[in-house]
Amino acid sequence: MSTNYLPHQTKTILSSIFLCLAFFAFSQEAIEVQITTAQMSEGRQPGYHVEIPKAELKTTQRNWVKKLQENIKVKVKKVDHEWVLAQAVKNELTKDTLSVYTIFIQKDDKIHMKVFIKIDDVFFSPDDDETKLSRHKTDNNIKSYIRNFALEEYKLIAGNHLQAAERSLKSAENELNRLIREKDYLIRSGSSIKRSIDSYERRLFDTNRQIFNKQKEIIDQQVYMRKLVNENERRAAVEKLRRLERQKYNLEKNRETFARNLAGARKKLDNNINKLNENHSGQVAARTEIAVQQKAIRYYQSILSLK
């Protein structure tokens, strides 16, 4: 049985607090692609903007490059602060040859991703006239392509949090089960210690009474000896007195042993009570963490179900 409970329960409580803070910070956000006009390597141009909450910059950049290079031989190159796919055909976007310029900015715990699409040397921008079906279709394709990527990244992050929450939940459940078993052990151990204390108290009480009675016998024997004149009777009386004193000495030694055992048992009972209190605090902390992790799991699962 481990006795080092307090440090663990402190870590458990802190873990729950930090998880709560992270949980509420990771609020579910809609992934929307916005039309924008922004500065890039070829001046101020129309493009698309999307925010990916909680994303990691290098991971997002790597995954975006991988997505752009799917099913084509053209490679994405990094030019200054832009990631450029030049003169390629991406059928998911348009049948025309295009170039894709991407800028990533990490700000306010989000990745701001700006995408500029150049088709036939002109940067593409949507047209409000929906009768222009081809242009409208390209716009929808671009928005869907960017949004699907951003949503995949968002789900990837949520999935990582979900796995961490599931591991923490399992750990908290194991800890709670251990604490429950430990409590049963401590209760049984405490009952045994209490029985020992009762036994030592009875023995100590009986021994004190025996010592009192033995001292009375010694005094009576000493009084009796003063009246003796016969030498043989005096020798027998002296021998009896010595025997009574030895008996008293042995009783006093027993009393010391019982008193020492009683003090030790009481100290064990105090430790047992302290451990039970710590166990209770640990169970409260474990149950709190379980509740937080279960809520977090439901939350991250809701993100993974986003369409």
- Report the percent of the chain where pLDDT is more than 70: 90
Q: What is the pLDDT of residue 1?
A: 39
- Note down the domain range covering 48: 34-164
Residue 16 lies in a domain: no
Tell whether 254 and 147 lie within a shared domain.
no
Q: Residue 4: pLDDT band by 50, 70, 90 thresholds?
A: very low
Query: What is the C-alpha separation between 132 and 147, in angstroms, rounded?
Result: 22
Q: What is the pLDDT of residue 6?
A: 43
Q: Kindly report, residue by residue over 187-217, the tens digit of the pLDDT.
A: 999 999 999 999 999 999 999 999 999 999 9
Q: Residue 134: pLDDT band by 50, 70, 90 thresholds?
A: confident
Read off the CATH number of the domain in which 173 is found.
1.10.287.1490
Tell whether 157 and 216 lie within a shared domain.
no
Q: Kindly report, residue by residue over 36-86, the tens digit of the pLDDT.
A: 999 999 999 999 999 999 899 999 999 999 999 999 999 999 999 999 999
Residue 18 lies in a domain: no
- What average pLDDT does this structure show over 254-268? 97
Q: What is the pLDDT of residue 306?
A: 86
Tell whether 154 and 200 lie within a shared domain.
no
Q: What is the mean pLDDT of the chain?
A: 90
Q: How many domains does the chain have?
A: 2
Tell whether 115 and 138 lie within a shared domain.
yes
Last residue of a domain, one of 139, 164, 189: 164
Read off the CATH number of the domain in which 77 is found.
3.30.530
Q: What is the pLDDT of residue 108?
A: 83
Last residue of a domain, one of 148, 164, 180: 164
Q: Residue 19: pLDDT band by 50, 70, 90 thresholds?
A: low
Residue 20 has pLDDT above 80, yes or no: no
- What average pLDDT does this structure show over 162-182? 96
Last residue of a domain, one of 108, 138, 164: 164
